Amino acid sequence: MNLEMWLVLGILLGAIILFVTEWVRLDVVAFSVVLLLMLTNVLSTEEALSGFANSAVMTIASLFVVGGGIMQTGLANRIGRQILRIAGDSELRLMVVLMLAVAFLSSFMSDTGTVAVLLPAVIMLARSAKICPSKLLIPLSFGALLGGATTLIGTTPNIIVAELLKENGLTPFQFFDFTPSGIALVLAGVIFMAFVGRHILPNRKLSIDAERFETPKELIDIYRLPDNLYRLRVRQNSKLIGKTMRVAQLGKDFSVTVLEILRPQERLIDTLFDPDNAAESPPTGKTAILIPNAETNFEAGDMLIAQGTVSEISYAAAQFNLGVQPANPKDEDMFINEEIGIAEILLPPRSSMVGKTLKDVRFGSTYHLTVLGINRPAVIGKLNIKETTLDFGDILLVQGAWKDILALREKRRDFVVMGQPEQMAGAPKREKALIALLVLLGMLILMATNLVSVAAASMLAALAMVLTGCLTMTDAYQSVDWKSLLLVAGMLPMSIALEKVGLVQLGAQALTDQLGNLGPHAILVGLFLITSAFTQVLSNTATSVLLAPIALAAAQTLGVQPYAFMMAIAIAASMAFASPVASPANTLVMGAGDYRFGDYVKVGIPMIFIALVTSMLILPLVWPF
């Protein structure tokens, strides 16, 4: 090996270590790889930046926008619920229907998006059927991963291997080329989970009680919200007068949450009897109900409906000269009405909230909602709302206007709104669901008939989603997982560097030297096992970018057709079953299902071998060597 080989290998190993440890963000690592390859002159500037001009990157970005339109209009939610309605309350039937349904949805949506859309419905379905969520949520995630292998756009590795074939002058995979092996994998996975896997899955009955995806009224009782509810009257000489919520810092300094402000429109002031506390006089006119935000000013006579402990309320009242009164029974109704309510939201693994406190992200001023509590699976006791560093799987109880709670559904990378609060009407653009469906069908027809390229079809569909109002341009930008996109664009030049310095050929030669005498079937098995092992610790994108060139070179060395090898790479890269961090879909269900790391290992490793056997039987038949 020469110096350039060692240099590229060092950059690659450094990137893998950072990918596995996540000491640095994945997109930062990928960007650093591009920069290092450029600065070391391993690649020219044009070669190092070629990943950003690759058609696969634009295809993936466009598909994110299409998926955003599908979810923004509530189409995915509606399809998922209609399918799940036929499941009944049998655990076996529910698992089978659930896996088939999620596999269908993930064939044209991202795995993570599919799981995020169906997760609340599955939890509610499990509760109504008296089935432990832990029996259904790993099947939900595994079904999404299997479904991604059924079409060209089902998952990123499929697009990457198709693009690599095209770049090397070979006929790329078409839209339905993945379907025969994909359907076989889905059926094999469903059969295994139905007859074997469901008996291996944990049966943690406590997890049903731990998952609080109840109606808003049930949440009030569960969190004992009325117990710490008080009325605080702003007296005439109170230090709060003229201050805004932001300046007063009642939440930050006193841990007092102002839920509502009752502001009299007219007041009878009797200065004869008590001029200093005239604001204590009863109102004689209408009362305005204000939902406070960071810029809301306090006025004399305001009645604050506030939540906090006795000591916290007393301390704030003393500091600001507030009158303290017990809450009225009717104050409990202020938690839920036509305008305001409460809901639980789950933080998915890629949420920008992870690793930060609510204070860091200025949650109240950013989202116009108040966090009333933080529930962390497997943690007993009350977490400090102000100081707790948030982690994926945390559940926040939020209170505020329904429109603001509903707005969180648009930020699916950061939040998953749990349950089905009755007052929430659904997706804000649900009237556009039919249009989104027609756009999706049009894109699939264009891809299936090869009338235009996959990139052109996906970009056309993304543009149609925006022009028809299924989502705004702002929504479109928010729909794109920029971290994943930069990962693809950043790692593609690494595959160029590996090939340029000869490491791809070296790896392919080593593989064929070890297994070549046993024939292409042995190489196929070896590629599948290596790829599936890598994808448990790396993203499926990075795994496919690194190993697909080796598979192609191995086929060329053996003098056989490369399609079975390339298909094996794409499939194995998506078989991320054996670790909760191998896929965001796995991570998303971990907290909700109260799973342990070992639960994924016990069910995931057999699933990988089921996928291996199925692929070895199907691929050589569909794609002869």
Number of Cβ within 10 Å of residue 218's Cβ equals 12
Structure tokens given for 218:
């049930």
The residue that leads in pLDDT, 508 or 115, is 115
Number of Cβ within 10 Å of residue 82's Cβ equals 10
Over 60: is that where the pLDDT of 275 sits?
A: no
Structure tokens given for 424:
């929430």
Quote the DSSP letter at residue 539.
-
- Which sign does the torsion angle of CA 114, 119, 120, 121 carry? positive
pLDDT for the residue 146: 93
Query: Which pLDDT tens digit goes with each residue over 180-199?
Result: 999 999 999 999 999 998 88
Lowest mean pLDDT, pick from 18-22, 108-112, 198-202, 475-479: 18-22
CATH of 219-335, one of 3.40.50.720, 3.40.50.970, 3.30.70.20, 3.30.70.1450: 3.30.70.1450
Put simply, whether the predicted model's pTM sits higher than 0.75 gets the answer no
**Average confidence (pLDDT) over 429-445:** 83
pLDDT for the residue 211: 43
Query: CA-to-CA distance for 375 and 414, rounded, in angstroms?
Result: 17
Strands (DSSP E) contained in 347-427 are 370-375, 395-401, 416-417
**Average confidence (pLDDT) over 425-435:** 66
Over 60: is that where the pLDDT of 215 sits?
A: no
Cβ neighbours of residue 42 closer than 8 Å, sequence gap 6 or more? 4, 7, 8, 497, 500, 501
CATH of 340-418, one of 3.40.640.10, 3.40.50.10800, 3.30.70.1450, 3.30.70.1350: 3.30.70.1450
Domain boundaries, the chain: 3-206+442-622, 219-335, 340-418
CA nearest to 478, candidates 350, 355, 582, 358: 350
> What would you measure as the largest C-alpha separation in the chain, in angstroms?
106
Lowest mean pLDDT, pick from 175-184, 375-384, 445-454, 484-493: 375-384
Structure tokens given for 29:
């690592």
Same fold, 219-335 and 340-418: yes
Q: What percent of the chain has pLDDT over 70?
A: 83
Starting at the edge strand that comes first in sequence, how are the strands of the sheet with 395-401 ordered? 370-375, 395-401, 340-346, 416-417
pLDDT for the residue 87: 66
Q: Do the Cβ atoms of 545 and 583 come closer than 8 Å?
A: no
pLDDT level of residue 272 (50, 70, 90 thresholds) = very low
pLDDT level of residue 618 (50, 70, 90 thresholds) = very high
Query: CA-to-CA distance for 413 and 110, rounded, in angstroms?
Result: 12
Lowest mean pLDDT, pick from 194-198, 489-493, 501-505, 597-601: 501-505
pLDDT for the residue 246: 83
pLDDT for the residue 334: 58
Query: Which pLDDT tens digit goes with each residue over 48-59?
Result: 888 888 777 888
**Average confidence (pLDDT) over 279-283:** 45
Query: CA-to-CA distance for 551 and 161, rounded, in angstroms?
Result: 10
CA distances from 21 to 17, 93, 537 (A): 6, 39, 9
pLDDT for the residue 220: 61
pLDDT for the residue 283: 46
pLDDT for the residue 335: 61
Query: Which pLDDT tens digit goes with each residue over 402-419?
Result: 777 777 876 767 887 775
CA distances from 300 to 253, 281, 283, 317, 450 (A): 21, 11, 12, 14, 70
Quote the mean pLDDT of the chain.
79
